[in-house]
Amino acid sequence: TQPLLKTLPDSLTTWEVQGVGISNSGICVADSIKVIVYQDLILKAKLPYSVVRGEQVQLRASVYNYWKDKTRVCVQISTEEGTCLFKGSQTSVEGKQRTTCQIKTLEGFSALPFTFTVLPLKIGVHSINFTLNIQNSASEIIVHKLNVVPEGIKKEKNFGYVLDPANILGIMVRRIEIRLKNPLNILPNVEPKNMLTVQGDLIGEAMSIALNPEGVHKLTNLPSGSAESVVMNVAPIYYIYKYLEKTNSWNVMGPNSFKIQLNMKKQMKDGITSIMSFRTKNHNSYSVWKDQEGSTWLTAFVLRVFAQVSEYLTIDEASICSTITWLVYQCQNSDGSFREHSNYVPLRFQVKKDEIKERTLYLTAFTSIAIQKAFNSCPIKGISRAILKADEYLSNNLENVKSTLVLAVTAYALSLKNQNSRFSSLALDKLKGEAFVIGNPPSHRFWKDISERSASSTEVTARIIETTSYALLTVLLSTDKRYGNPIVKWLTEQQRYGGGFISTQDTATALEGLTEYVINMKRTRLDMSISIDYRRFGNIQQFELNEQNSFSRPVEIEKNDNVIVRTSGRTGTATVNMKSVYYVIGTSSETCDFSLTINVTKTISDTYPPGVEKVYRLEACAKYKPRSEDSVLKSEHSVMEITLGTGLIPEEEDLKILSNAVDKLVAHCRITEKGVILQMDQIPSDNFFCVGFRVYEMMKVGMITSVPFTVYSYHSPDRRCTILYNPTGDEKLLKLCSGDECKCMKAECSEMRPPLDISLNIQEKHKAACNKGAVYAYKVQILSSEKQVNFIKYNATILKIFMKVDDIEKTSIISLIKKDTCSDVSLIKNQRYLIMGKNSLRLSSSRYEYPLDSSNWIERWPLQEDCSEDTYRVLRKQRAGCRYRKLERQVHTTYVYIECNSHKAKMDVRMSGQLKLPDAKLDESEDKDYKKKNSCCFKAVGCRFKGGKSKIQEHEAGGIRQHLNLLMDEVMKLNQKAISANLPPDISTTLKQMEAEANKIELRITSFQKDHQINEVCKELQEFGKLLEETKQCVTMVEARLSALDDRLTALPREINKCSKISTTLNRQIELNNLQFIDVEGKLTNCESKLFQTEKVIEETTAQMMALETMTQTGVYIWKIPHIKKRLKEAIDGTTPYLDSSEFYFCKYGYKMCLRIYLDGYEEAQGTHISLYYILLKGQYDALTQWPFKQNVKLALLNLNDRQQSILKIYVPGEQDPALQRPVQSMNAPRGFPMFATSSEFNQRFSEFVMGDEMFVGAEVVPIN
């Protein structure tokens, strides 16, 4: 024996050790053994997947002692800047905190917990370091990452544009401007993240799938689990692959184009393998969910994709044929329509009547498209008849179609069958009549479904995109392909950042339509110079797009300003996409199709995981809300997304019971890092559909933020319903600290200044406020307040501006917003405050929002009635050398403690609990002005107002009407007295007195006009009067034109009668022509059928002749390869990596084979060798031959000068090689020699192997003996 010493690392790991012995006698493998290695002391800490900013989280770390002796340990935690640590002290590094070391005794073979409370203040990933200090031993540090996410709901907005400097799509576009506008309910202190890309191709962002096929999973951002989601991993890759192959554009992929091509093929193969797992037990159909009955719609979707992918991959034709047979014989009705074989409903159509009829038409057209695309794999008469019956059903019901989507799918199905038929032309004409057009000439053209007609022109849904995509596919089959240019432009601009659209069907159909358009239309050379700039802040980036460099790297737009993208007048087209990710604090139910409720209550559980703090019962319910025109009572395929709060995990067994129930109401369930995603086939509208499960609290969390509960239709994810709920019931305001300990924990909150803080004079207050870095200072009055989920928003008007950074004026309305967990600041309606800070958010040109956080200075502005004589005595004491100490509030009285040079005093200032004293010193003039109360100058006529100088000015400015009334009353009294006394009034004296009073009134009115800008109002009224006169003149002209129009309308019925008679005659002639056309069409169909049968016989005869020609009687096959120099160059460039020989039989009724050669080598031999293989093919006589194939095969590169100098190698088959079994598909895997001949030897002896630019390769079956 030979000992082997090896140190196994890690703190607690199970290693598996296995011995393998090799000798002349063979190989010996010993049984494996498991070895557990561990340190004596281990520190383990677990952090949640993510924490919401502002939540107090109690982290738990445990120390495990695997030694028998006890020891002394402590655990410390340190955080970086942006994370507040409870009971933490500052370290030598700025912004970092660390707890003190509290040593505890850890007994042998035991564990000891340590808890720490942190409060994340900044969004991002933060490092949390746990340090284990052991007595008389080295310390151990474990670093964990804490992911801090914003509050609120994540939203995403996409902008799409097309640059078309050469006017290829009909409208020249050389400059676009993307207007960035923050939503009104955006989350404060979280800047939106804007990413912009410019791609030199109409396919746009979807080309990124070629560079990274894994990105196909992110195209729709929808939950996985269904067969449809798996098919969507194949279809987009196929469309991009087909586009690159048909247009020969692999060069745009760069030097790794060949590797990218192989990788895309591999992704498609892997996707097809995954789809097979949804195949039903009879192996002919596919189900939406695993282990359920087959679905007609899903099977048609799979068939459609398989038929398309088979162009580039080998797919078993027998499998495709059996799938078509299942659809025809199990799902087609006698009238030609198709029915859904399962309970799955992919789409519902909001029509007043005959919703089932619309679904039948849609399913028939959808299935017919799939069968037609796969017909070449199964060209039998029964399938052809099925297509004709479906075509007839669609044609007969074409006039009754109500949904535009159904019309578009029907038109495409009819055009696939025969684009020149009467009904396909009729369907296309009807479809064109439903189009929405923007511009003249049209720049954009799209279609809305009947349920989307009420949507605004800017609102784009998945249904609209899918309808428009089918319309584009139909147009591309017609002769008027240029009609599709505005459609392509509209579709391209709807593409989202990353290449996808909104849902699955719209993404697949839109990519198919766009790739077909680019393949069919002439492609122009790409040559564009791109410039990206801010509107106000200047240049961002400049670059060139050309054939060698058609993609740009994403550009981050950091500033809140409009972005301008322009190009010089060259050739080609480019797509511009921007994605803006932001968070909002509220929810919107404008486009909501469900009613939602969710409840969380405490409960008791017999079993639960270790470390559980509390157990809750969560019940989430949803009810479908049919739209006014909707006659259905159940939704389509729906999704529930239940987000759980920080530190909460669901009970997996409860969720398994839901998904494995007999009724299958929950079709699929998946636990994610954020919560739970449930998928249902449908949600009823007559009562709530509820799901319930237990939730465990694994760690304590204080100041919990509400989290979203969302429900939406899988095929309409743009119509989401979301409510926010508290994940732990009523314990939202739980704090994990108390008293002064919470000072750090409240770092994100602002503080209200003490009431009438006389401890700071003007200079000291100015210095304290400026230390907070304020950039604005306003005096505001609170108008209203509103609770918005986790925030409180105050609307305020600006009374005075001391300092500003935003474009606002006095009297502007602004919003102040704070977290509802920040309880120190509560602004009261109609109260006035001094607000200073440094953060602001521009919501629109005239609307600004200011978050209230730790950087703010907030102080209540004192009112006149707050300033009593006792308050002034306090302030005078301060000026005399006394200073403020503290406030003490009792039941009815508030005392101010002051400390002077000679004594201390306790003074009752008789104020309410909300009174706040002014901060600034008052001079003697203000003191005297306060004590002296002036009377109004209209005292003589009855005005009794008294007040200080400033109050008198305000009173006189605002009481003009009141004072005029008092004067009139006084004049009337004097006149009455004069009349009653029969005394002749002194007219001149009275006139002088009244003239003097009138002058005073005129002066005050002039002042009032200046203050209130009455002259400007009068001017505006005069201008309005002129405008009114012009409007009257226009109305008179319109009335005259209407009168003339009435005369024309009187004569219109006579013209209509004439047209009606002509129309009747034409209709009769059309009916006769239709009868003749139907007769000719029937004859043509018979001819086509006979022609098809004749072609089938010719194909079979040709195949038999080819088989005879390629059949060898001696077991030797010679393959001539012409144009060898060109082929060699294509192999090195990667254009044609390999060549396949013709198919041949090695003997009559024998094995069918072909040869394959890689002139530049394959895999590890690439660039150094020539690789040569043989491949077993599926033959007509496989049932007569012996399997597996056991013969040796001699492969040779023939020397044309001397046969003895040929390069020969014999391949000896291995045992149980799957590639030598009877072929199940069209061909098996190749077998041969990857290093058949070195490239250097071939080049040196080139003239021996190549003659007349031709090379010969030989193959011979050699008997085993």
What is the SS3 assignment for 834-845?
A: EEEECCCEECCC
Q: What local confidence, expressed as pLDDT, does residue 1156 receive?
A: 94
Could you read off the pLDDT of 199-254 as tens digits, one per residue?
888 887 788 777 776 677 777 788 999 999 999 999 999 999 999 998 888 888 88
Show Cβ contacts of residue 1265 under 8 Å, excluding neighbours closer than 6 positions.
Answer: none
Residues facing residue 279 across a β-bridge: 286
Please state which of the four CATH numbers 3.50.50.60, 1.10.10.10, 2.60.210.10, 3.30.479.30 is assigned to the domain occupying 1109-1262: 2.60.210.10
Distance CA 812, CA 804 (A): 12
pLDDT at 910 over 60: no
Q: Which span out of 123-132, 218-227, 1007-1016 was modeled with the highest average pLDDT?
A: 123-132
Q: What local confidence, expressed as pLDDT, does residue 151 receive?
A: 85
Average pLDDT taken over every residue of the chain: 80
pLDDT at 1108 over 70: no
Q: Give Cα separations from 342 to 207, 287, 298, 493 (angstroms).
A: 36, 8, 10, 37
Give 1083's Cβ-side CA count (13 Å radius).
Answer: 5
CB 780 within 8 A of CB 796: yes
CB 427 within 8 A of CB 398: yes
Q: What local confidence, expressed as pLDDT, does residue 248 receive?
A: 87
Distance CA 403, CA 8 (A): 68
* Arithmetic mean of pLDDT, 830-846: 81
CB 313 within 8 A of CB 265: yes
CB 163 within 8 A of CB 524: no
- Residue 332 carries which DSSP code? B
Q: What local confidence, expressed as pLDDT, does residue 119 receive?
A: 85
Q: Give Cα separations from 1058 to 717, 1051, 1052 (angstroms).
A: 53, 12, 10
Could you read off the pLDDT of 716-751 as tens digits, one per residue?
888 889 988 888 765 544 455 555 445 555 556 777
Same fold flag, 41-149 and 588-725: yes
Distance CA 435, CA 926 (A): 75
Structure tokens at 555: 């550009």
pLDDT at 988 over 60: no
Distance CA 322, CA 284 (A): 6
600 vs 481, more confident: 600
Q: Exposed, middle or buried, 648 (CB in 10 Å: 0-12/13-18/19+)?
A: buried
Q: Which of 134-138, 483-487, 698-702, 818-822 has the lowest mean pLDDT?
A: 818-822
Could you read off the pLDDT of 535-592 as tens digits, one per residue?
888 899 999 988 888 888 889 998 888 999 999 877 889 999 999 998 888 765 556 8
* Beta carbons within 10 angstroms of residue 600's beta carbon: 21
Q: Which CATH class is domain 160-200+526-586?
A: mainly beta
Q: How far is CA 415 from the centre of its chain?
A: 35
Distance CA 1013, CA 1019 (A): 10
Q: What local confidence, expressed as pLDDT, does residue 1116 receive?
A: 87
Q: How far is CA 1030 from the centre of its chain?
A: 51
DSSP sequence for 1150-1172: --EEEEEEETT--GGGTTTEEEE
* Arithmetic mean of pLDDT, 11-15: 75
Q: Which of 268-272, 339-343, 368-372, 1007-1011 has the lowest mean pLDDT?
A: 1007-1011
Give 407's Cβ-side CA count (13 Å radius).
Answer: 25
pLDDT at 952 over 80: no
Q: Which of 397-411, 447-461, 771-785 has the lowest mean pLDDT?
A: 447-461
* Arithmetic mean of pLDDT, 455-465: 76
Q: At what angle do helices 462-476 and 504-520 cross, to 10 degrees?
A: 30
Q: What local confidence, expressed as pLDDT, does residue 72 receive?
A: 92
Q: What local confidence, expressed as pLDDT, does residue 1046 receive?
A: 67
Q: Which CATH class is domain 41-149?
A: mainly beta
Q: Which CATH class is domain 748-916?
A: mainly beta
Distance CA 221, CA 339 (A): 30
The most distant pair of C-alpha atoms in the chain lies apart, rounded to whole Å, by: 157
Q: What local confidence, expressed as pLDDT, does residue 549 receive?
A: 84
Q: What local confidence, expressed as pLDDT, does residue 752 receive?
A: 79
pLDDT at 20 over 70: yes
Structure tokens at 238: 């196929």
Distance CA 714, CA 152 (A): 23
Q: What local confidence, expressed as pLDDT, does residue 420 receive?
A: 83
Measure the CA dihedral 542/547/549/550, to 10°. 80
- Residue 481 carries which DSSP code? G
Percent of the chain's residues with pLDDT above 90 = 31
N-to-C CA span, the chain: 44
When pLDDT is cut at 50, 70 and 90, the band that residue 1092 belongs to is low
Q: Tell me the one-letter amino acid at 252.
A: V
Q: Exposed, middle or buried, 487 (CB in 10 Å: 0-12/13-18/19+)?
A: buried
Could you read off the pLDDT of 1016-1073 as tens digits, one per residue?
544 554 565 565 566 666 666 766 676 666 666 666 666 777 776 776 777 777 767 7
Q: What local confidence, expressed as pLDDT, does residue 755 receive?
A: 66
* Arithmetic mean of pLDDT, 896-901: 44
Q: What local confidence, expressed as pLDDT, does residue 928 receive?
A: 42
* Arithmetic mean of pLDDT, 952-968: 70
Q: What local confidence, expressed as pLDDT, does residue 732 receive?
A: 47
CA torsion sign, 843 to 847 to 848 to 849? Answer: negative
List the domain boundaries for the chain: 41-149, 160-200+526-586, 201-525, 588-725, 748-916, 933-1009, 1109-1262
CATH number of 201-525: 1.50.10.20
Measure the CA dihedral 951/956/962/965, to 10°. 140
* Arithmetic mean of pLDDT, 763-767: 73
Show Cβ contacts of residue 275 under 8 Å, excluding neighbours closer than 6 positions.
Answer: 227, 230, 231, 234, 286, 302
pLDDT at 959 over 90: no
Could you read off the pLDDT of 1113-1172 as tens digits, one per residue?
677 889 999 999 989 988 888 778 889 898 888 887 888 999 999 999 988 898 999 999
Q: What local confidence, expressed as pLDDT, does residue 304 receive?
A: 95
Distance CA 18, CA 235 (A): 44
pLDDT at 48 over 80: yes
CB 1146 within 8 A of CB 1117: yes
CATH number of 588-725: 2.60.40.690
Could you read off the pLDDT of 911-942 as tens digits, one per residue?
333 333 333 333 333 344 444 567 777 777 77
813 vs 1078, more confident: 813
